[in-house]
Each structure stands twice: as C-alpha cells, then as structure tokens.
A and B are shown apart, each in its own frame.
Chain A
Amino acid sequence: MEEILKLENIYVGNEELKILRNINFSVKRNEIVSIVGESGCGKSMTLRTIIKLLPKNLKILNGDIIFEGIRIKDLKEKEMNKIRGEKIGMIFQEPSSYLNPLFTIGNQIEEAVRGNFKREKRKERVMKILKEMGLSANVYYQYPHQLSGGMQQRAMIAMALINNPSLLLADEPTTALDVTTAFGIINLLKNLVSEHNLSILFVTHDISLANYISDRIIVMYAGIIVENGKAKEIYENPLHPYTRKLIECLPEKYKKGERIKTIEGEVPSFKNLPHGCPFFQRCDFKMKICEERIPGEINFENRILRCFKYGNTLES
C-alpha cells in the first residue's frame, strides 16, 4: 500500500537540547497509526514537526519528511501553508482553546475552506460536513460556548477535514472528554477513514485506546521510537521492556488485592538525557552496553525495535 507520510532520521532540537532523535516511521494510506507514550516523550512534538509548527527555539536539525512524494522539510512557509489545512489537517486536545469564542461555528469552518467558492457553495459544504460529524444544522449558527465538549471536538474535526486532506494529525483529541463522549469521537474517526480516504496519526498516552483504534502502534520514550508494529500484536505481546512495563501498568490486568507492577523512577528530562539508551535506569533487562550506546533499529518478528536485548545493532 502506498505510503503517504515518511519520516527519515528526523532530529529536532537546538544546540542545548535534543528533543527528537532519529525518528523513522511511515504512514500508509487509510491507515491509523498511534503514537503512544507518557508525557514528555516527544509524541506531540513529532506531530508539530510534521506540520512544521515547532516552537521558535527548536528546529529540524537533520533528516527529512516526505509527504505524498514531496520533501517538505525545507519547504518555504508559503508552500507549507498550502499543505496545512488542505492536505494535512490537525486536531488538538482542548477544543475550547482552539475555537474562537467570538465567531460562530459556521463562520469558523467556512474560514477554513480553501479555494474560491461562492458563499452558498461554502455554506453547503459546511452543512454537509456538520451532518457527517453528527451535528445538527443549528450548530452552524451557534457559538463555541453553547456546545458541549464533545460537540466542540466534532466541530474541530469538521474544520480539519473540510478540504478533504489525506492525513489527519490528532493530538490527544479525547483526553479531555468524558468516557462516553470520547467513545463516540473515536468511533467517528474510525468511520471517517474509509469514507474520506483518510490516514490518521493519533497521539495518546492510553495504550488500550491506541489498540482499539489503530492498525499500528509506535511507542516513544524520551524522544526516540522504541517499538513499532501492529497494534494488536504489540498490545498482546509487547517486546520492548518499556512497552512491556506500559502494558503491565494497566490496572485492568489485575485482580483486586494484587499490586500493580510499576516502573520505578521517572521519565528523564530532555535537559538531562543519559548517554546510552534512555530507558536504561528503569529497565529490568539492562546490560552494560545499554548504558553506553543507544540501540539501533532492528527488525524482529515483524516489528521494529530499539533494544539490545533483541540484537546488537548500534545507532548509525
């Protein structure tokens, strides 16, 4: 199947900090890929790198991003703007922060429509997509504060998809929502993939959620990808020690009275990254080499891993 997005050896940071290191992965058409990790692992930063909205003090130091065949890393802002909103859409965690409280929903979604269309045509398109999102036509005339969190999120998705992009970047879109509302949004997203010929890159800290929605899961830790493979396989048979611990931490795996197996310690901050494998301190399987070198990518049982336990490739 066709690859629509590919990241090659991406390094993001500045002279003092390296936030992302050697990020390599691809997303195929109509595929849902989740990036899973805890806070501070760099998953949100990866999305922002793809859409090139990094904070001022960080840049892409190395590597390339190929979107639908075009290398976009060095694309000028003007060209990138054509891609943003049109070919790549993005939705965020707190819909209320990203919707302007002063304008109606209809107004805001219309603003996102690209191309020269007559007023009526635009309105028609917006109404159509509102319906698709499960929102009533009334929403067109309403203001963000009049909508519930779930409805606001649906409005944001409408905005992101109105130009029929081929890739949707979703940064924890359901974390701030109630369980039942989130469930609705997740199912909506799943349906949109087939109806809109869409691929989704979905960022979350919840690996069970990632398993439910995605075809593939990418696990990140302290700025590097540690495991990349089919969602179900990773969930039921995690290989990387960190992924294993993540699965082991899930309370649903335990009976009452048992203790949850946890990971001691905390995620290292980007200012104090250790020399070798970033997970070294907290790993149950650590070996001497783990402290000194960062493991390179290995192909193991249909998965991409970075762990010396499974092979001895070094970082190139």
Chain B
Amino acid sequence: MEILWKVENLKKEYEIRTEFKKEKIVALKNINIEIYKGEVFGLVGESGSGKTTFGKVLIRLIEPDNGKIYYKNIDITDMPEKILRKYRKNFQIIFQDPYKSLNPRIRCGYAVMEGIEGNKKEKIERAIEILNLVGIKKERFYDYPHQFSGGERQRIAIARALSTNPEFIVCDEPTSNLDVSIQGQILNLFIDLKEKFNLTYLFITHNLKIVRFLADRIAVMFKGEIVETGKTEEIFKNPSHPYTEKLLKSGILKFRH
C-alpha cells in the first residue's frame, strides 16, 4: 500500500490569554499517523480531542510546533509557502459549517472557479462541470451562498475542493450540521466521488455510526493523543482502550454489533 501521509511526533500548542493569566492548551500532544492511498481514514473524537486541529495542521493551514509531516515521502513540514503552494492542489479540505465555509459575497460559480487554471472560458466550463457532478445545476452558477440550503452549500464546498483535481481531501465533520436525510445524500456523494476519482479521505467526525459506515481504518483521539488505531470493524468489535469502550457505549449503536 502506498503511504500518502506520514506524520511523526506532531505537536501543536495554543496560548489562551485571559485577563489574569496565560494558559497553554495542548491541542496535539504527540501524533503519529500513516494514511494509505485509496483508503478512508476515520479520525474519531469528541470536542477538545484535537481532531479538527490535526486536519488543518496536516495540510499546513495551521503551522505545527514540532514534529514532521511527510506527503508521499516529501518532507513538507517547513517547506516555504511559495513551494508548498504547488503541492497544495493535491490536498484539499471541506469544513463542517456550510454556512461559514463559503464567502457570502462571492457567487457560487466563482467560488468553485477560484482554484482552476486556464482562461476565463475554460474556468467557467470546468466549474459548471464540477458543480454538475455534485448535483448543482448550471442555472445556479451565479447565485450567492445565502440562496442555497445547507446541503447545497456543502455540495458547493465539495465542488470547490474538487476543482484542483486533488488526490486527498480532509473532510472535517462535513455532515454534522446537516439534517439526517441530507446527510445520507452527502455521504453517498462522498463514496461516489471517491470511486470516480480514486480519492483518499481523512474523515474527521464524532459520529460513530458514520465512521463505521465509511472508514476503512480509524484512529481514536482523546485530549490531543491517539489512544487507539486500527481497522474499523476490529476496533468496534474489540476495543482495547477504555476510552474507546466508553465512546462506543455512548454511541447508542443498535444495528449490527
């Protein structure tokens, strides 16, 4: 299996300043992860576990404090932004809140066009093509985000992520803010796109039911550390860490134990 990402000893700390004292919050303590090409890697945890931070640090939207990040064996940890930019099109991100992840002043078609190269005509054509793929009709190309529903906005965000022909996408809780029926549509879309474009996903979520359905391997995070990693079914059937057990019990899983 080709290793797409290798993360070694990754650390990230935040400083929170209140009126009286400075507090250090360790978001990522010592993360070691490998992600293989073609898989859906689920990152499970509750709020404060650091899972969202990891997603952003991995693709260097936030800078790590320590440790190494390798993309296809290339060390991108300290790569200067100018050079890194050329690699960025290979790894994209989709955020949780469809109401915040699109610039409210930019029309949906233009948002998707942003990452495409070429002359204006080519860009528009390609953007329409991708929007079509995710289920947004071309008549809506010039609409603003607030004219779309939550599920539709998330589709636009997915289209934007696809616009650079990436091979890897960080999906940060992409369905948490959506209704159950829309969630199903979006999850199906993720699976279809994965097959069509041979994508690899880092799927970050707190929803155990979704991760069991989607992920090949999962890592469980708790307070900045990875407590358990392994194949999805094995972890669900035989959790080895007490936190994982607690998590599974709370998940109120009913079907297929």
Contacts and interface: CB of A to CB of B under 8 A. Distances in A.
Interface of A: 38-39, 149, 178-183, 205-209, 211-212, 235, 245-246, 249-257, 259-263, 266-267
Nearest to B249: A183
Given A38-B179, A179-B247, A205-B180, A266 B149 contact: yes
Contacts of B216: 256
Contact of A249 (B183, B247, B254): B183
B124 to A, nearest CB: 27
A178 B180 contact: no
Interface stretch (B27-35, B79-87, B205-213): B205-213
A251 B47 contact: no
Contacts of A255: 213, 256
Nearest to A261: B184
Contact of A245 (B181, B188, B208, B253): B181
B185 A179 contact: no
Given A178-B46, A179-B206, A251-B184, A256 B213 contact: yes
B247 to A, nearest CB: 6
Interface in B26-60: 46-47
B46 A179 contact: yes
Contacts of A39: 179
Interface of B: 46-47, 149, 151, 179-185, 187-188, 191, 206, 208-210, 212-214, 216, 232, 246-247, 249-256
Nearest to A242: B181
- Give the dominant DSSP class at B's interface: helix
Contacts of A261: 184
B137 to A, nearest CB: 14
B187 A260 contact: yes
B120 to A, nearest CB: 32
Nearest to A181: B46
Contacts of A266: 149, 151, 182
Contact of B255 (A181, A207, A253): A253
A179 B250 contact: yes
B250 A259 contact: no
Contact of B246 (A180, A235, A245): A180
Nearest to A179: B250
A250 B210 CA distance: 9
A260 B46 contact: no
Contacts of B247: 179-180
B256 A183 contact: no
Contacts of B184: 249, 251, 260-263
B255 A252 contact: yes
B188 A259 contact: yes
11 contacts: A38-B180, A38-B181, A39-B179, A183-B249, A205-B180, A207-B180, A252-B255, A252-B256, A256-B213, A262-B188, A266-B151
Nearest to B256: A252
A38 B184 CA distance: 13
A235 B252 CA distance: 13
B184 to A, nearest CB: 4
Nearest to B209: A252
Given A252-B209, A256-B214, A266-B151, A211 B180 contact: no
Nearest to B185: A262
Given A259-B188, A262-B181, A208 B252 contact: yes
A262 B188 CA distance: 9
Contacts of A254: 213
Nearest to B253: A252
Given A250-B209, A266-B151, A183 B183 contact: no
Contact of A180 (B180, B209, B213, B250): B250
B212 A252 contact: yes
B174 to A, nearest CB: 13
Nearest to A36: B180
Given A179-B208, A252-B213, A256-B213, 8 more contacts: A38-B180, A178-B46, A180-B46, A246-B181, A250-B180, A252-B253, A254-B213, A266-B182
The 4 closest A-B pairs by CB, nearest first: A183-B250, A262-B184, A178-B46, A260-B184
A208 B210 CA distance: 13
